[in-house]
Amino acid sequence: AYGIVAAGFGADIVVEADLGLYDYAALVPVVEGAGGIMTDWYGRRLTLENHERSKGRVVACANEMLHEEAIGILGEIWSESESGSEGARKSTISSVVKEGFWYLALGIGIGIALAKPRK
């Protein structure tokens, strides 16, 4: 999926959670080298030093506008899931899972709306 974002062949965004450093570290220079943006859900750069803070929550986008929209949504979800008690976290995570299709549809819609052929 990250290769497709980097190559510009139709996928404009990839969002994942709970990745290990070994899952994404080699992909960051590939996506960024192709002109994409790859950060955690708060928009922080993915580095060896901040992996623990990022908790493996990764977003890769083909362009800056889409990235800003995505981290706006994802940062809000992350904040909600980390506030409150353990029960509140489980409830928030459960609601995120239930609404997962909504976020997927929203991401696809944003990607289609912002999609531009690359040269």
Binding site membership for Mg(2+): which residues? 23
Q: For residue 74, give the nearest of 6, 36, 5, 17 by alpha carbon.
A: 17
Q: For residue 69, give the nearest of 12, 2, 19 by alpha carbon.
A: 12
Binding-site positions = 23
Q: For residue 70, give the nearest of 60, 79, 80 by alpha carbon.
A: 60
> For strand 13-16 and strand 37-40, is the pairing parallel, antiparallel, or unpaired?
unpaired
